[in-house]
Amino acid sequence: MKMLKILLLSILTLVGVNLTWRCLSRKRSLPCPTWLAGILEMDRIDAFLGTEATLDRIGMKPGQKVLEIGPGPGRLLIPAARRVQPGGEVFGLDIQPGMLARLNARAVQAGVSNLTSVLGNASQSQFPPESFDVIFLVTVLGEIPDREDTLRQCHSTLKPSGLLSVTEIFPDPHYQSRTTVRRLAEAVGFRLKKMHGPLYFFTANFLKYSH
């Protein structure tokens, strides 16, 4: 009985922390702390979070110039760098220097040389217009208070007919529903190309639509 109470209390605390974090993130930037990067670097995490499946859905090609917003320690960006070879390059834009330090160290360790890390806020202009073939975000959009501004920046920095890809995984505390992602992306000029996967792990691919 005591064990059951402890279990219930732990679950309630976890849910409470998640909901509070989610609500506060609407108003100010409270990104995933750098000390949690260790979880995203664990050996088994790729199978658990579907890293290769996500990259397959995004469908980047050799020679392309690709940006990941919020790459953290590079769970997706390091294998993405290999997928755009030969001739392609990838960029990772993250708001936390600690995450970029982990990303750079892991890229060196993996022997990846076509990866550039950039420190900055995705809701502000960081790159010249029409720079990228593909921009992707995985479990990041809900962490950014200015989601509309961020997607507007994506629209501007994508080449004409470039691809925006947004992946959300439940129960990430900042999980965004398919409907929300679609509404936000369409409001700034994207058109849905394809929705992949179930509600708890979906990837929404959009094409840049110039008026």
Ligand X SMILES: C[S@@+](CC[C@H](N)C(=O)[O-])C[C@H]1O[C@@H](n2cnc3c(N)ncnc32)[C@H](O)[C@@H]1O
- Binding site residues, ligand X, CB under 6 A: 29, 31-32, 40, 69-72, 75-76, 93-96, 99, 121-123, 138-140, 143-144
Q: What backbone torsions phi and psi does residue 179 show, to the nearest 5 degrees?
A: -60, -45
CB-based contact 121:31 (threshold 8 Å): no
CB of 92 to ligand X, least distance (A): 9
Query: How is the beta sheet containing 158-169 ordered, strand by strand?
Result: 115-119, 89-94, 65-69, 132-138, 158-169, 201-208, 190-196
37: nearest Cα among 79, 78, 74, 77: 74
Between 139 and 203, name the residue whose CB sits nearer to ligand X: 139
CB of 7 to ligand X, least distance (A): 26
Q: Count the Cβ atoms, other than its own, within 10 Å of residue 205.
A: 21
Query: CA 33, CA 195: separation in Å to the nearest integer?
Result: 29
Between 32 and 185, name the residue whose CB sits nearer to ligand X: 32
CB-based contact 72:32 (threshold 8 Å): yes
Between 26 and 191, name the residue whose CB sits nearer to ligand X: 26
Between 9 and 47, name the residue whose CB sits nearer to ligand X: 47
The residue nearest ligand X at its CB is 70
CB of 6 to ligand X, least distance (A): 28
CB of 12 to ligand X, least distance (A): 23
Sign of CA dihedral 128, 108, 33, 49: positive
CB of 104 to ligand X, least distance (A): 13
Between 45 and 87, name the residue whose CB sits nearer to ligand X: 45
